[in-house]
Structure 1
Protein backbone atom coordinates (compact mmCIF):
# COMPACT_ATOMS: atom_id res chain seq x y z
CA UNK A 1 0.00 0.00 0.00
CA UNK A 2 1.30 3.44 -0.96
CA UNK A 3 0.30 6.62 0.85
CA UNK A 4 1.06 10.02 -0.67
CA UNK A 5 1.90 13.14 1.28
CA UNK A 6 1.36 16.77 0.37
CA UNK A 7 2.62 17.80 -3.07
CA UNK A 8 4.74 20.92 -3.52
CA UNK A 9 5.13 23.03 -6.64
CA UNK A 10 8.57 23.23 -8.23
CA UNK A 11 8.92 24.89 -11.61
CA UNK A 12 6.42 23.50 -14.10
CA UNK A 13 5.42 20.46 -12.04
CA UNK A 14 4.99 18.97 -8.61
CA UNK A 15 7.07 16.89 -6.21
CA UNK A 16 5.25 14.49 -3.88
CA UNK A 17 6.60 12.42 -0.95
CA UNK A 18 5.18 8.94 -0.41
CA UNK A 19 5.54 5.89 1.80
CA UNK A 20 4.90 2.27 0.83
CA UNK A 21 4.41 -0.69 3.16
CA UNK A 22 3.79 -4.40 2.59
CA UNK A 23 0.35 -5.89 3.42
CA UNK A 24 1.83 -6.84 6.80
CA UNK A 25 2.76 -3.22 7.45
CA UNK A 26 6.52 -3.60 6.94
CA UNK A 27 8.09 -0.42 5.47
CA UNK A 28 9.11 -0.85 1.84
CA UNK A 29 9.81 2.65 0.46
CA UNK A 30 10.07 6.24 1.50
CA UNK A 31 10.20 8.10 -1.77
CA UNK A 32 9.89 11.38 -3.61
CA UNK A 33 8.10 11.55 -6.96
CA UNK A 34 9.18 14.29 -9.39
CA UNK A 35 6.85 15.14 -12.25
CA UNK A 36 8.91 14.92 -15.44
CA UNK A 37 8.07 18.61 -16.06
CA UNK A 38 10.02 19.57 -12.92
CA UNK A 39 13.34 18.60 -14.50
CA UNK A 40 12.53 19.39 -18.15
CA UNK A 41 10.70 22.70 -17.66
CA UNK A 42 11.55 26.10 -16.26
CA UNK A 43 12.99 26.39 -12.75
CA UNK A 44 13.78 29.56 -10.79
CA UNK A 45 17.30 30.89 -11.27
CA UNK A 46 19.61 32.01 -8.51
CA UNK A 47 19.03 35.62 -9.54
CA UNK A 48 15.25 35.17 -9.30
CA UNK A 49 15.48 33.54 -5.87
CA UNK A 50 17.72 36.32 -4.56
CA UNK A 51 15.30 38.96 -5.87
CA UNK A 52 12.36 37.14 -4.30
CA UNK A 53 14.03 37.10 -0.88
CA UNK A 54 14.18 40.91 -0.87
CA UNK A 55 10.81 41.51 -2.51
CA UNK A 56 7.93 43.27 -0.73
CA UNK A 57 5.62 40.54 -2.05
CA UNK A 58 7.69 37.33 -2.17
CA UNK A 59 6.48 34.18 -3.89
CA UNK A 60 8.80 31.83 -1.99
CA UNK A 61 8.50 32.81 1.66
CA UNK A 62 7.54 29.65 3.60
CA UNK A 63 9.42 26.34 3.45
CA UNK A 64 6.34 24.60 4.86
CA UNK A 65 4.11 25.92 2.07
CA UNK A 66 3.57 24.36 -1.40
CA UNK A 67 5.73 27.03 -3.07
CA UNK A 68 8.66 26.75 -0.63
CA UNK A 69 11.08 29.36 0.63
CA UNK A 70 13.99 31.11 -1.06
CA UNK A 71 17.00 30.77 1.26
CA UNK A 72 20.71 31.41 1.07
CA UNK A 73 22.16 28.02 2.04
CA UNK A 74 25.71 26.76 1.45
CA UNK A 75 26.41 30.41 0.47
CA UNK A 76 24.26 29.94 -2.65
CA UNK A 77 20.64 30.62 -3.52
CA UNK A 78 18.30 27.71 -2.86
CA UNK A 79 14.58 26.99 -2.94
CA UNK A 80 13.67 24.84 0.06
CA UNK A 81 10.69 22.74 1.10
CA UNK A 82 9.92 20.89 4.35
CA UNK A 83 7.24 18.21 3.83
CA UNK A 84 6.26 15.37 6.24
CA UNK A 85 6.46 11.77 5.06
CA UNK A 86 3.20 9.87 5.57
CA UNK A 87 3.17 6.67 7.64
CA UNK A 88 6.78 6.95 8.75
CA UNK A 89 6.44 5.66 12.31
CA UNK A 90 8.21 2.33 11.72
CA UNK A 91 11.39 3.92 10.32
CA UNK A 92 13.69 6.74 11.48
CA UNK A 93 12.58 8.91 8.53
CA UNK A 94 10.51 11.93 9.61
CA UNK A 95 10.23 14.50 6.83
CA UNK A 96 11.49 15.52 3.41
CA UNK A 97 13.84 18.47 3.06
CA UNK A 98 13.97 19.25 -0.64
CA UNK A 99 16.30 21.88 -2.11
CA UNK A 100 16.66 23.16 -5.66
CA UNK A 101 20.15 24.68 -6.05
CA UNK A 102 20.26 26.53 -9.40
CA UNK A 103 23.93 27.48 -8.98
CA UNK A 104 25.03 24.38 -7.13
CA UNK A 105 26.83 24.96 -3.84
CA UNK A 106 30.37 24.96 -2.38
CA UNK A 107 32.16 21.88 -1.12
CA UNK A 108 34.45 19.19 -2.46
CA UNK A 109 36.76 21.72 -4.09
CA UNK A 110 33.98 22.82 -6.44
CA UNK A 111 32.68 19.28 -7.02
CA UNK A 112 29.01 20.23 -6.54
CA UNK A 113 28.83 23.38 -8.62
CA UNK A 114 26.30 21.96 -11.11
CA UNK A 115 22.59 22.83 -10.78
CA UNK A 116 21.13 20.05 -8.66
CA UNK A 117 18.49 18.84 -6.22
CA UNK A 118 19.22 17.86 -2.63
CA UNK A 119 16.72 15.27 -1.37
CA UNK A 120 17.08 15.10 2.42
CA UNK A 121 15.44 12.16 4.16
CA UNK A 122 15.55 13.65 7.65
CA UNK A 123 15.52 11.51 10.80
CA UNK A 124 14.91 14.26 13.37
CA UNK A 125 11.93 16.51 13.99
CA UNK A 126 11.44 19.81 12.23
CA UNK A 127 11.87 21.70 15.52
CA UNK A 128 15.41 20.32 15.87
CA UNK A 129 16.31 20.97 12.24
CA UNK A 130 14.76 24.46 12.28
CA UNK A 131 17.16 25.39 15.08
CA UNK A 132 20.28 24.61 13.02
CA UNK A 133 22.02 27.79 11.91
CA UNK A 134 25.23 27.74 9.87
CA UNK A 135 27.57 27.43 8.24
CA UNK A 136 29.72 26.89 11.30
CA UNK A 137 31.84 24.16 12.84
CA UNK A 138 29.85 21.26 14.21
CA UNK A 139 29.05 21.70 17.94
CA UNK A 140 30.79 18.50 19.03
CA UNK A 141 34.42 17.46 19.23
CA UNK A 142 34.18 14.53 16.84
CA UNK A 143 32.11 11.66 15.53
CA UNK A 144 32.97 8.19 16.87
CA UNK A 145 34.27 5.95 14.09
CA UNK A 146 31.54 3.37 14.70
CA UNK A 147 28.87 5.95 13.88
CA UNK A 148 30.40 7.01 10.54
CA UNK A 149 29.01 5.04 7.58
CA UNK A 150 31.53 2.85 5.79
CA UNK A 151 33.57 4.80 3.22
CA UNK A 152 32.52 8.27 4.42
CA UNK A 153 34.76 11.11 5.55
CA UNK A 154 34.30 14.37 7.41
CA UNK A 155 35.37 17.58 5.70
CA UNK A 156 39.06 18.45 6.17
CA UNK A 157 39.87 21.10 8.82
CA UNK A 158 40.52 23.79 6.22
CA UNK A 159 36.89 23.59 5.04
CA UNK A 160 35.30 23.09 8.46
CA UNK A 161 33.26 26.29 8.01
CA UNK A 162 31.21 24.42 5.39
CA UNK A 163 30.43 21.46 7.65
CA UNK A 164 27.37 22.55 9.57
CA UNK A 165 24.74 23.90 7.18
CA UNK A 166 21.56 25.82 7.99
CA UNK A 167 18.45 23.61 8.27
CA UNK A 168 20.55 20.48 7.64
CA UNK A 169 23.63 19.75 9.75
CA UNK A 170 27.10 18.35 9.09
CA UNK A 171 27.63 16.69 5.71
CA UNK A 172 29.80 13.61 5.15
CA UNK A 173 30.62 12.55 1.59
CA UNK A 174 31.76 9.16 0.25
CA UNK A 175 35.48 9.14 -0.43
CA UNK A 176 34.99 7.41 -3.79
CA UNK A 177 32.52 9.92 -5.26
CA UNK A 178 33.79 10.47 -8.84
CA UNK A 179 33.46 14.25 -8.61
CA UNK A 180 35.86 14.46 -5.66
CA UNK A 181 37.96 16.44 -5.45
CA UNK A 182 37.05 19.35 -7.68
CA UNK A 183 35.69 17.52 -10.75
CA UNK A 184 32.12 18.82 -11.22
CA UNK A 185 31.89 17.33 -14.73
CA UNK A 186 31.70 13.89 -13.07
CA UNK A 187 28.91 14.85 -10.63
CA UNK A 188 25.60 13.09 -11.33
CA UNK A 189 24.21 11.32 -8.24
CA UNK A 190 25.95 11.18 -4.85
CA UNK A 191 24.61 10.07 -1.46
CA UNK A 192 25.54 12.38 1.42
CA UNK A 193 24.97 11.28 5.01
CA UNK A 194 24.53 13.93 7.68
CA UNK A 195 25.00 14.43 11.40
CA UNK A 196 23.39 16.77 13.91
CA UNK A 197 24.35 17.40 17.53
CA UNK A 198 21.63 16.22 19.92
CA UNK A 199 22.29 17.18 23.55
CA UNK A 200 25.94 17.70 22.58
CA UNK A 201 26.38 14.33 20.91
CA UNK A 202 26.50 13.67 17.15
CA UNK A 203 23.75 11.55 15.61
CA UNK A 204 23.24 10.28 12.09
CA UNK A 205 20.39 12.61 11.13
CA UNK A 206 19.73 12.48 7.39
CA UNK A 207 20.40 10.63 4.15
CA UNK A 208 20.69 12.93 1.14
CA UNK A 209 20.86 11.89 -2.49
CA UNK A 210 22.23 14.86 -4.45
CA UNK A 211 21.12 14.57 -8.07
CA UNK A 212 21.98 16.94 -10.87
CA UNK A 213 19.21 18.33 -13.04
CA UNK A 214 21.10 17.05 -16.08
CA UNK A 215 21.15 13.50 -14.67
CA UNK A 216 17.42 13.48 -13.91
CA UNK A 217 16.47 15.17 -17.17
CA UNK A 218 18.08 12.36 -19.18
CA UNK A 219 17.20 9.53 -16.79
CA UNK A 220 15.14 6.49 -17.83
CA UNK A 221 14.74 3.03 -16.32
CA UNK A 222 15.88 2.00 -12.84
CA UNK A 223 19.16 2.22 -10.95
CA UNK A 224 19.79 0.97 -7.41
CA UNK A 225 22.56 2.06 -5.10
CA UNK A 226 23.91 0.88 -1.76
CA UNK A 227 23.38 2.94 1.39
CA UNK A 228 26.64 2.39 3.32
CA UNK A 229 25.95 1.54 6.96
CA UNK A 230 27.46 2.58 10.28
CA UNK A 231 28.37 0.05 12.96
CA UNK A 232 26.20 1.85 15.52
CA UNK A 233 22.82 3.43 14.77
CA UNK A 234 21.11 6.27 16.67
CA UNK A 235 17.80 4.36 16.64
CA UNK A 236 16.38 0.83 16.93
CA UNK A 237 14.04 1.01 13.94
CA UNK A 238 14.27 -0.29 10.37
CA UNK A 239 17.11 1.39 8.48
CA UNK A 240 17.37 1.67 4.67
CA UNK A 241 20.13 -0.34 3.00
CA UNK A 242 19.63 0.82 -0.61
CA UNK A 243 18.12 3.68 -2.58
CA UNK A 244 16.90 3.82 -6.13
CA UNK A 245 16.16 6.21 -8.95
CA UNK A 246 13.49 5.06 -11.39
CA UNK A 247 10.98 6.28 -13.94
CA UNK A 248 7.37 5.18 -14.11
CA UNK A 249 6.28 3.03 -17.12
CA UNK A 250 4.86 6.05 -18.96
CA UNK A 251 8.00 8.12 -18.24
CA UNK A 252 5.84 10.85 -16.69
CA UNK A 253 7.63 10.92 -13.34
CA UNK A 254 10.97 10.14 -11.70
CA UNK A 255 11.14 8.58 -8.24
CA UNK A 256 13.99 8.77 -5.73
CA UNK A 257 13.36 6.28 -2.92
CA UNK A 258 14.97 4.76 0.15
CA UNK A 259 14.31 1.02 0.39
CA UNK A 260 15.63 -2.28 1.73
CA UNK A 261 14.62 -1.38 5.28
CA UNK A 262 16.17 -3.79 7.79
CA UNK A 263 15.76 -3.98 11.55
CA UNK A 264 18.88 -2.78 13.40
Structure 2
Protein backbone atom coordinates (compact mmCIF):
# COMPACT_ATOMS: atom_id res chain seq x y z
CA UNK A 1 0.00 0.00 0.00
CA UNK A 2 2.79 2.38 0.87
CA UNK A 3 4.48 1.75 -2.47
CA UNK A 4 1.25 2.44 -4.35
CA UNK A 5 0.68 5.62 -2.34
CA UNK A 6 4.15 6.93 -3.12
CA UNK A 7 3.74 6.05 -6.80
CA UNK A 8 0.39 7.84 -6.93
CA UNK A 9 1.87 10.89 -5.17
CA UNK A 10 4.78 10.99 -7.62
CA UNK A 11 2.39 10.86 -10.57
CA UNK A 12 0.35 13.73 -9.10
CA UNK A 13 3.48 15.84 -8.56
CA UNK A 14 4.66 15.19 -12.09
CA UNK A 15 1.24 16.15 -13.45
CA UNK A 16 1.24 19.34 -11.41
CA UNK A 17 4.72 20.26 -12.59
CA UNK A 18 3.75 19.58 -16.18
CA UNK A 19 0.74 21.85 -15.85
CA UNK A 20 2.86 24.53 -14.19
CA UNK A 21 5.44 24.24 -16.95
CA UNK A 22 2.72 24.49 -19.59
CA UNK A 23 1.19 27.53 -17.86
CA UNK A 24 4.58 29.22 -17.58
CA UNK A 25 5.34 28.54 -21.23
CA UNK A 26 2.01 29.99 -22.30
CA UNK A 27 2.57 33.05 -20.10
CA UNK A 28 6.00 33.60 -21.61
CA UNK A 29 4.56 33.26 -25.10
CA UNK A 30 1.88 35.83 -24.24
CA UNK A 31 4.54 38.23 -22.97
CA UNK A 32 6.53 37.78 -26.15
CA UNK A 33 3.47 38.58 -28.22
CA UNK A 34 2.74 41.73 -26.21
CA UNK A 35 6.29 43.08 -26.17
CA UNK A 36 8.14 43.96 -29.33
CA UNK A 37 8.42 46.32 -32.27
CA UNK A 38 5.56 46.26 -34.76
CA UNK A 39 5.60 47.86 -38.22
CA UNK A 40 3.14 49.68 -40.43
CA UNK A 41 2.88 49.11 -44.18
CA UNK A 42 5.96 49.78 -46.31
CA UNK A 43 5.58 52.83 -48.57
CA UNK A 44 7.83 53.36 -51.60
CA UNK A 45 9.96 56.51 -51.47
CA UNK A 46 12.31 57.16 -54.42
CA UNK A 47 14.51 54.04 -54.80
CA UNK A 48 13.80 53.01 -51.21
CA UNK A 49 10.98 52.93 -48.71
CA UNK A 50 9.63 54.32 -45.47
CA UNK A 51 7.43 52.82 -42.76
CA UNK A 52 6.10 53.53 -39.30
CA UNK A 53 6.63 51.40 -36.20
CA UNK A 54 5.68 51.20 -32.52
CA UNK A 55 7.52 49.47 -29.67
CA UNK A 56 5.52 48.04 -26.75
CA UNK A 57 6.53 46.79 -23.30
CA UNK A 58 5.79 43.39 -21.77
CA UNK A 59 2.18 44.34 -21.00
CA UNK A 60 1.56 45.67 -24.50
CA UNK A 61 1.74 49.39 -23.69
CA UNK A 62 3.50 51.53 -26.34
CA UNK A 63 6.74 53.10 -25.11
CA UNK A 64 7.99 54.63 -28.37
CA UNK A 65 7.05 55.01 -32.01
CA UNK A 66 8.43 56.58 -35.12
CA UNK A 67 9.31 56.41 -38.79
CA UNK A 68 12.21 54.62 -40.47
CA UNK A 69 13.66 55.47 -43.91
CA UNK A 70 15.79 53.05 -45.89
CA UNK A 71 19.10 54.55 -46.97
CA UNK A 72 18.03 54.29 -50.62
CA UNK A 73 15.05 56.53 -49.86
CA UNK A 74 17.27 59.29 -48.49
CA UNK A 75 20.06 58.91 -51.05
CA UNK A 76 17.72 58.50 -54.04
CA UNK A 77 16.43 61.22 -56.33
CA UNK A 78 13.78 62.90 -54.20
CA UNK A 79 12.88 65.25 -57.04
CA UNK A 80 12.11 68.96 -57.23
CA UNK A 81 8.37 68.71 -56.59
CA UNK A 82 6.73 68.81 -53.17
CA UNK A 83 5.44 65.34 -52.21
CA UNK A 84 3.09 64.17 -49.48
CA UNK A 85 2.67 60.64 -48.14
CA UNK A 86 0.14 59.24 -45.66
CA UNK A 87 1.74 56.57 -43.47
CA UNK A 88 -0.51 54.19 -41.56
CA UNK A 89 0.51 53.15 -38.06
CA UNK A 90 0.46 49.51 -36.87
CA UNK A 91 -2.60 48.50 -34.86
CA UNK A 92 -0.51 48.43 -31.66
CA UNK A 93 -0.33 52.24 -31.90
CA UNK A 94 -4.08 52.54 -31.23
CA UNK A 95 -3.26 53.06 -27.55
CA UNK A 96 -1.22 56.16 -28.39
CA UNK A 97 -2.47 59.65 -29.19
CA UNK A 98 -1.77 59.20 -32.88
CA UNK A 99 -4.04 58.24 -35.78
CA UNK A 100 -1.56 58.39 -38.67
CA UNK A 101 1.60 60.11 -39.92
CA UNK A 102 1.89 62.60 -42.77
CA UNK A 103 5.32 62.85 -44.41
CA UNK A 104 6.05 65.88 -46.61
CA UNK A 105 9.11 66.38 -48.81
CA UNK A 106 9.80 70.08 -49.46
CA UNK A 107 12.60 70.37 -52.06
CA UNK A 108 12.63 74.18 -51.98
CA UNK A 109 11.60 74.44 -48.35
CA UNK A 110 8.60 76.59 -47.46
CA UNK A 111 7.63 79.90 -45.88
CA UNK A 112 9.02 81.74 -44.11
CA UNK A 113 11.89 81.24 -46.54
CA UNK A 114 14.56 82.97 -44.38
CA UNK A 115 13.93 80.27 -41.76
CA UNK A 116 12.89 77.13 -43.61
CA UNK A 117 13.74 77.76 -47.26
CA UNK A 118 16.00 74.69 -47.61
CA UNK A 119 15.22 71.10 -48.67
CA UNK A 120 13.62 69.35 -45.73
CA UNK A 121 11.05 66.86 -44.44
CA UNK A 122 7.96 67.58 -42.34
CA UNK A 123 6.85 64.59 -40.27
CA UNK A 124 3.38 65.18 -38.80
CA UNK A 125 2.15 62.72 -36.18
CA UNK A 126 -1.58 63.49 -36.35
CA UNK A 127 -4.10 62.89 -33.56
CA UNK A 128 -7.04 63.18 -35.99
CA UNK A 129 -7.99 61.22 -39.09
CA UNK A 130 -6.81 62.02 -42.64
CA UNK A 131 -10.40 62.99 -43.50
CA UNK A 132 -10.47 65.54 -40.68
CA UNK A 133 -7.08 66.90 -41.72
CA UNK A 134 -8.30 67.32 -45.31
CA UNK A 135 -11.21 69.46 -44.07
CA UNK A 136 -8.98 72.06 -42.36
CA UNK A 137 -9.50 75.41 -44.07
CA UNK A 138 -6.72 77.86 -44.73
CA UNK A 139 -7.08 81.21 -43.01
CA UNK A 140 -5.02 84.26 -42.18
CA UNK A 141 -5.44 83.97 -38.42
CA UNK A 142 -6.61 81.49 -35.83
CA UNK A 143 -10.28 81.65 -34.84
CA UNK A 144 -9.58 80.05 -31.48
CA UNK A 145 -6.34 79.63 -29.54
CA UNK A 146 -5.50 76.73 -27.23
CA UNK A 147 -5.63 77.85 -23.59
CA UNK A 148 -2.27 79.00 -22.23
CA UNK A 149 -1.82 76.03 -19.87
CA UNK A 150 -1.88 73.68 -22.87
CA UNK A 151 0.86 75.54 -24.78
CA UNK A 152 4.45 74.31 -24.39
CA UNK A 153 6.86 76.78 -22.82
CA UNK A 154 8.49 79.22 -25.28
CA UNK A 155 6.19 78.20 -28.15
CA UNK A 156 4.54 80.89 -30.25
CA UNK A 157 1.99 80.70 -33.04
CA UNK A 158 3.22 81.34 -36.58
CA UNK A 159 0.96 83.39 -38.90
CA UNK A 160 -2.08 81.74 -40.48
CA UNK A 161 -3.53 78.26 -40.77
CA UNK A 162 -2.19 76.02 -43.53
CA UNK A 163 -5.05 74.34 -45.43
CA UNK A 164 -5.32 70.56 -44.97
CA UNK A 165 -2.63 70.79 -42.30
CA UNK A 166 -3.26 73.24 -39.44
CA UNK A 167 -1.58 76.09 -37.55
CA UNK A 168 2.05 75.73 -36.51
CA UNK A 169 3.69 76.58 -33.18
CA UNK A 170 7.48 76.99 -32.93
CA UNK A 171 9.94 77.18 -30.05
CA UNK A 172 11.46 80.66 -30.06
CA UNK A 173 14.24 79.49 -27.72
CA UNK A 174 15.45 76.96 -30.32
CA UNK A 175 18.27 78.33 -32.49
CA UNK A 176 16.94 76.21 -35.38
CA UNK A 177 14.06 78.67 -35.64
CA UNK A 178 16.32 81.60 -36.47
CA UNK A 179 17.52 82.63 -39.96
CA UNK A 180 20.23 80.44 -41.43
CA UNK A 181 20.29 77.93 -38.56
CA UNK A 182 17.59 75.40 -39.37
CA UNK A 183 18.68 71.74 -39.20
CA UNK A 184 16.04 70.13 -36.97
CA UNK A 185 13.24 71.32 -34.72
CA UNK A 186 10.03 70.15 -33.03
CA UNK A 187 6.73 71.80 -33.93
CA UNK A 188 3.27 71.60 -32.36
CA UNK A 189 0.16 71.94 -34.54
CA UNK A 190 -3.37 73.07 -33.70
CA UNK A 191 -6.76 73.95 -35.12
CA UNK A 192 -9.92 75.36 -33.50
CA UNK A 193 -8.22 75.65 -30.12
CA UNK A 194 -6.99 72.04 -30.03
CA UNK A 195 -3.51 70.66 -30.54
CA UNK A 196 -3.72 68.02 -33.28
CA UNK A 197 -0.16 67.07 -34.24
CA UNK A 198 3.45 66.76 -33.15
CA UNK A 199 6.03 67.39 -35.85
CA UNK A 200 9.74 66.71 -36.05
CA UNK A 201 10.97 68.85 -38.97
CA UNK A 202 14.48 68.27 -40.32
CA UNK A 203 16.64 69.05 -43.33
CA UNK A 204 17.96 66.50 -45.79
CA UNK A 205 21.45 67.85 -45.08
CA UNK A 206 21.05 67.14 -41.36
CA UNK A 207 19.78 63.61 -42.03
CA UNK A 208 22.89 62.93 -44.09
CA UNK A 209 25.14 63.85 -41.13
CA UNK A 210 23.75 61.09 -38.90
CA UNK A 211 26.11 58.33 -40.07
CA UNK A 212 28.94 60.56 -38.81
CA UNK A 213 27.49 62.34 -35.78
CA UNK A 214 25.48 59.39 -34.44
CA UNK A 215 22.19 59.36 -32.56
CA UNK A 216 20.92 62.66 -31.20
CA UNK A 217 18.19 62.68 -28.55
CA UNK A 218 16.38 65.89 -27.63
CA UNK A 219 13.85 66.71 -24.88
CA UNK A 220 10.39 67.75 -26.09
CA UNK A 221 9.10 70.92 -24.38
CA UNK A 222 5.92 70.11 -22.46
CA UNK A 223 2.88 72.16 -21.42
CA UNK A 224 1.86 72.44 -17.78
CA UNK A 225 -1.44 70.68 -18.55
CA UNK A 226 -2.69 68.41 -21.33
CA UNK A 227 -5.92 68.80 -23.29
CA UNK A 228 -6.49 65.07 -23.77
CA UNK A 229 -5.33 62.26 -21.47
CA UNK A 230 -2.86 59.99 -23.22
CA UNK A 231 0.69 58.82 -23.79
CA UNK A 232 2.84 61.88 -24.56
CA UNK A 233 6.43 61.62 -25.86
CA UNK A 234 9.00 63.23 -23.58
CA UNK A 235 11.98 63.04 -25.96
CA UNK A 236 12.62 62.49 -29.65
CA UNK A 237 15.66 61.30 -31.55
CA UNK A 238 17.35 61.03 -34.93
CA UNK A 239 19.53 58.00 -35.62
CA UNK A 240 21.27 55.95 -38.31
CA UNK A 241 21.74 52.17 -38.16
CA UNK A 242 24.87 51.17 -40.07
CA UNK A 243 23.90 47.47 -40.01
CA UNK A 244 20.45 47.89 -41.56
CA UNK A 245 21.37 51.12 -43.40
CA UNK A 246 18.29 52.92 -42.10
CA UNK A 247 17.49 56.38 -40.73
CA UNK A 248 14.99 56.58 -37.87
CA UNK A 249 13.06 59.43 -36.26
CA UNK A 250 11.64 58.34 -32.91
CA UNK A 251 9.19 59.71 -30.36
CA UNK A 252 10.44 58.34 -27.04
CA UNK A 253 9.40 57.84 -23.41
CA UNK A 254 5.67 57.76 -24.04
CA UNK A 255 4.26 58.78 -20.66
CA UNK A 256 0.68 58.86 -19.43
CA UNK A 257 -0.45 62.44 -18.78
Instruction: Report TM bin, short chain.
Output: 0.7 to 0.9
Between structure 1 and structure 2, the one with the greater Rg is 2
- Measured after TM superposition, the shift of residue 147 of structure 1 is 1.1
1:118 maps to 2:115: no
- Measured after TM superposition, the shift of residue 219 of structure 1 is 1.1
Using structure 1 for the length normalisation, give the TM-score: 0.79
Higher share in helix: 2
Contact 1:30–1:85 (CA under 8 A) maintained in structure 2: no
Q: C-alpha separation between the residues in 1 aligned to 2:163 and 2:108?
A: 17
- Per-residue CA deviations over 1:123-155 (Å, capped at 9, x if unaligned) read 112221111132532232x33211111121112
Q: Of 177, 181, 200, which aligns to 1:180?
A: 177
Q: C-alpha separation between the residues in 2 aligned to 1:223 and 1:137?
A: 35
Larger relative contact order (CA 8 Å, sep ≥ 6) = 1
Using structure 2 for the length normalisation, give the TM-score: 0.81
Q: Of 223, 226, 238, which aligns to 1:245?
A: 238
Equivalenced residue count is 219
Q: Of 163, 168, 174, which aligns to 2:165?
A: 168
- Measured after TM superposition, the shift of residue 167 of structure 1 is 2.2
- Measured after TM superposition, the shift of residue 204 of structure 1 is 1.3
Q: Of 92, 97, 100, which aligns to 1:92?
A: 97
Q: C-alpha separation between the residues in 1 aligned to 2:41 and 2:164?
A: 20
1:189 maps to 2:184: yes
Gap change, CA 1:222 and 1:149, over 3 Å in 2: same
Contact 2:37–2:56 (CA under 8 A) maintained in structure 1: yes
1:138 matched to which residue of 2?
Answer: 142
Higher share in strand: 1
Contact 1:81–1:98 (CA under 8 A) maintained in structure 2: yes
Q: C-alpha separation between the residues in 2 aligned to 1:241 and 1:32?
A: 17
1:216 maps to 2:168: no
Q: C-alpha separation between the residues in 2 aligned to 1:114 and 1:254?
A: 20
What's the C-alpha RMSD, in Å, of the aligned pairs? 1.5
1:232 maps to 2:236: no
Q: C-alpha separation between the residues in 2 aligned to 1:133 and 1:102?
A: 24
Gap change, CA 1:218 and 1:92, over 3 Å in 2: same
1:205 matched to which residue of 2?
Answer: 196
